[in-house]
Structure 1
Amino acid sequence: MLNKKATFFGSLSIIFGVILLNLGCASRQLPQGGPRDHDPPKLLKATPANMTRHFNAKTIKLDFDEYFKLNNIYSEISISPTPTKLPEYKVKQKSIEITLKDTLEKNTTYVINFGKAIADVNESNILKNFTYVFSTGEHIDSLSLSGSVTNTQTQLKEKDATVMLFTLKQDSLLFGKKKPTIYATTDSAGRFTLNNLHPDDYRIYALKETSPNKIYDNDNELIAFSKKVIHLTKDSSDIQLNLFKQTPTKFRVINSFDGDGKMTFLFNKKLDNPSLKIIYPPDFDKYKTVDISKTRDTALLYIKNMDFDSIRVAIFDNNKPMDTIARHKGRKEPFTRFFGFTYNVTGDGRLKPGTDLIIKGQYPIENFEPSSITLKDDSAEVSNFTIQKDSANAKYLVLKYRWKQGHNYTLTLENGAVTDIYGDKNKKVPKKFTIDKAENYSLLTLAVTFPDTGKSYVVELLNEQKDLLDSRPIRKNTSLAYKNYLTGKYYVRVIYDTNNNGKWDSGNVKKKIQPENIWVDDTPITLRANWEQVTPVNVPKEQITP
């Protein structure tokens, strides 16, 4: 006979176990969110259909597969030809409703280009270069242009550049003033395609913008163009456009008083040999110290005597006056300064072998007291070192000593050891450092061969981050030595120096002048420790930009 009590508790145990099992399963399968959506919205239906002929509708409805948003409607969306009254665009649920406000021309192909306006709501994936095309007649324009866009400086293909097409009649009226009606955005490989074009004469440009208005209106934007007029009668491909930053034709300067009292001048273009002169107050030019950046596009002006309420500073290039800047300040205006130092050592305190120690003041140095500066070699204080002001930079002190590898050094600047031009004195600053190992550095020799030794070139050495390390004008096949370079990867860039001035020259869109061409060797040069390496560099023949 069955034991009912045992049966009841056995059933209860089974039920309880099932509940625990389910709870356990649930705890192991909490929602994880799923993979990220990388797909932009997809068009499901267009009413009237895309590529409709004999179009006579007043509204257009575009249905997509997900919720989306329209960004920068007036700068991203265009219609070509452009009607007098622009269409109205409204988002309703997963659809765009376009209301045409103007009478359409007869027997004309219209293209509505959404640029980068359409993006999904959650991940902002952009539906690039989506177009809706229709014709009020029997024929739909079907010609196309395609090609690629390259960055002149890096020689890499440029993604997200705007390629713009203007008819010859529009070019002088619209370029640089209004956005184009025909344009496309380059893909990740720098490629572009312009479709549904009407037979006509065109000019083509590419623009890498700093602000998304599709108008070349900023000195910092990159521009590309073709000098040739495109006589479009059939499909055309392999159009090459090279982006460059145009050197501004008009010099401009931005300046300000910083919180510490110096004046900062930012030039809108690099100068050849910039200099500054204080022309008011009278006789104040003798109080100035000027620090010009290596790129020659920035100048810092330090003024020992700050007892003035207005100042005029003249800027020169090769002794030619460029601009005069006037500024006002309170005569007794207070400034906050901290007089500190940096050094030419690495972040972990290593000084390059065979070099002097550079003590870099925050401000120009007026004087220093050698007796208040001590140097310890390991634990022993030494006296056979020299220290002096750098004749080339008023903010630098140069300390010379016979450094030894494996030794630990401590430099101490006691309180008041150094005084800047404002009378500020330093606080006690100890600096510990060692001498880097010589085997961490190498000798690189480039054996450079040019395709035409009758022309001029500039050979540039870049680090792995593509920062410029060295630049040398060259006119013949030669070997270039680079001593004491750290182990790592380096690249070679060559400028085809057409005008023989030893530097790269920008182009000019208005004058239809292309920039000087550049070749970048995309094969890295890997320097090993304590190594002497000879690397052949065979410069290819210049590819002339049309």
Structure 2
Amino acid sequence: MLNKKCSFLALILPGFLMLMGCANRQAITGGPRDHDPPKLLKATPPNMTRNFKANTIQLDFDEYFKLTNSYTEITMSPAQTKIPEYKTSKKSLIIKLKDTLEKNTTYVINFGKAIADVNESNVMKNFTYVFSTGPHIDSLSMSGRVINTTTGEREKEATVMLFTLKQDSLLFGKKKPTIFTTTDTSGNFSLNNLHDGKYKLYALKEITGGNKIYDNDKELIAFSKNIINLQRDTSNIELKLFKENPEKFKLVEKRFDQDGKLFFSFNKSLDNPSVRITYPPDFDKYKIAEISKTNDTATIYMRNMDFDSLRVTFLDNNKPLDTIAMRKGRKESFIRILTFQYNLSDLKLKPRTPLIATASYPIESFDPALITLKEDSNEVSNFTIVRDTANTRKFTVDYRWKQNANYTLVYNAGAFTDIYAEKNKGTIKHFSLNKPENYSLLTLKVTVPDSGKYYIVQLMDDRNHILRKDVIHKSGPIVYKDYITGKYNISVVYDDNKNGKWDSGNIHLRLQPENIWVDPVVLTLRPNWEQETEVIIPKEPATP
């Protein structure tokens, strides 16, 4: 019997020790990550209390929490002269009211994003505590959605703000609202426990953090065009966010780069911008100015660097906007390396297009004899290189490019001389012609809802970069030749003022932005493919 027991132990012991060894090596985990914000277990007095007479409110939660930015995130409506005091005690929040409450009035305490759990910072969003000092609690509601005008997508984490007519001129853009909420992941919002009356409604998408005050040109804003006379529950309100084109011109950035060029960025896109050197006298003739395609930046190269102070005037349609001074040491030295960029994608040139070379600095002169082009290993002579008359940094290299050939463009040392008398070092650029089958032909068969109006049809890539614009006012085809295979989107601007561009809104002038329709259909261009797609532009929606 003893031998049988020993034999049994001998069989099971190695397996037992193996399991123990595996158990010892296994890491101890803390379980799944907590994604839930704190939950309210009890409120004293209870939420939605009528005939409220207390001066202290206690909110008990199911876990420990932290209170963040309590005096900016938490608001009480109607607002009180003496701000309530907020204190935490273990898993409870104690609110001490410091002011006398009005009779027969519904009060709403909105906690914004002030309450979050300790470990994972899960925020308890749009939590409100409501009470009334009378027998009635205001119960009207307002709901809708917030949409980004340019993308057509619903905007999450946008602040929707409600002001009474009396508050609007006093608070908007100056102080945070007392009635607000945050849109959910689908861009929807709901404002509850509202009193009947006349209101103005706004939505705000702040850059980072934020104070719930529209005080930055880079923020997105939306507003209801009409005053909302709230007499019953109101739903399906649509607010369209837009970036306002500021009324006043302002320089956002100004600098002297290490290579001596001047760079300026503006707070808005101008109609017809230009720059002028007003000091030193007679120095304007030495400038070479480049304005970006978006008309919101300017770069200036000076042929003559013999100055210690430069005064630059910015104009739009020849009307002066601002003048600033830039300083440098008269004998200050700058570091410049003359380089070139090309219209290549992965070292491939688009078929039926010339090679465009863009120098890092304006070119004073070039010597074609020092520039060679090789097709495979053979040097060719029947190519041309021409300076762009509109841009002193651009050159066009044209040749009858061949498929399956490898090209080498050689700039020998001294082939180019820039305006600072700097010459290029010897450089070599290898490239080849992309295959035609990698490109497609797209034809849009566009139908407009009203031939008396104008529309801007925009072709965009999968990153929402606008590749081409076409202004139309009647139905017909739009043809896109030689577009690389990939995904594209179509958007349409309702060009109400017929100026050929999208016009933003203006919050102070109560102007809504021009409407943009984004076609929900994603266009997929396949290699060597001819595609026809019908685009039916819907009737322009009414402005909310």
| TM bucket normalised to smaller | over 0.9
- Output the CA distance in 1 between the equivalents of 2:490 and 2:398: 33
Counterpart AA for 1:250? K
- Output the CA distance in 1 between the equivalents of 2:151 and 2:307: 47
Change (3 A) 1:233 1:24: same
Change (3 A) 1:245 1:11: same
- Output the CA distance in 2 between the equivalents of 1:361 and 1:65: 65
8 A contact 1:517–1:544 mirrored in 2: no
Give the alignment of 1:170-319 within 5 angstroms. 170-211=167-208, 212-254=210-252, 255-319=254-318
- Output the CA distance in 2 between the equivalents of 1:133 and 1:405: 74
Counterpart AA for 2:235? S
Most deviating of 506-515 and 160-169: 506-515
Count of aligned positions: 542
Where in structure 1 do 4 or more consecutive aligned residues deviate above 3 Å? 9-19
- Output the CA distance in 2 between the equivalents of 1:234 and 1:274: 50
2:131 paired residue number:
134
| Equivalent position SS for 2:17 | helix
1:69 paired residue number:
66
Give the alignment of 1:313-392 within 5 angstroms. 313-346=312-345, 348-392=346-390
Most deviating of 165-174 and 280-289: 280-289
| Equivalent position SS for 2:519 | strand
| Equivalent position SS for 1:315 | strand
- Output the CA distance in 2 between the equivalents of 1:223 and 1:167: 18
Residue by residue, what CA displacement relative to the aligned partner does 1:129-185 show, whole Å, maximum 9, x if unpaired?
A: 011111222221111111111111111111111110001111111111110000010
Matching residue within 94, 98, 101 for 1:101: 98
Change (3 A) 1:438 1:101: same
Matching residue within 481, 501, 519 for 1:521: 519
| Equivalent position SS for 2:71 | helix
Most deviating of 430-439 and 331-340: 331-340
Give the alignment of 1:148-163 within 5 angstroms. 148-163=145-160
- Output the CA distance in 2 between the equivalents of 1:49 and 1:88: 19
| Equivalent position SS for 2:41 | strand
| Equivalent position SS for 1:171 | helix
- Output the CA distance in 2 between the equivalents of 1:465 and 1:298: 22
Unaligned runs of 5+ in 1: none
| Equivalent position SS for 2:520 | strand
Matching residue within 28, 37, 41 for 1:44: 41
Matching residue within 421, 427, 430 for 2:428: 430
8 A contact 1:446–1:537 mirrored in 2: yes
- Output the CA distance in 1 between the equivalents of 2:476 and 2:19: 78
| Equivalent position SS for 1:499 | coil
Change (3 A) 1:232 1:24: same
Shift of 1:122: 2.5
Most deviating of 313-322 and 500-509: 313-322
Unaligned runs of 5+ in 2: none
> Is the counterpart of residue 538 in structure 1 residue 536 in structure 2?
yes
8 A contact 1:315–1:322 mirrored in 2: yes
Counterpart AA for 1:481? V
- Output the CA distance in 2 between the equivalents of 1:74 and 1:414: 67
Counterpart AA for 2:69? N
1:444 paired residue number:
442
> Is the counterpart of residue 117 in structure 1 residue 133 in structure 2?
no
- Output the CA distance in 1 between the equivalents of 2:242 and 2:464: 17
Most deviating of 252-261 and 436-445: 252-261
Shift of 1:278: 0.8
Residue by residue, what CA displacement relative to the aligned partner does 1:442-466 show, whole Å, maximum 9, x if unpaired?
A: 2212111111101111111111211
| Equivalent position SS for 2:521 | strand
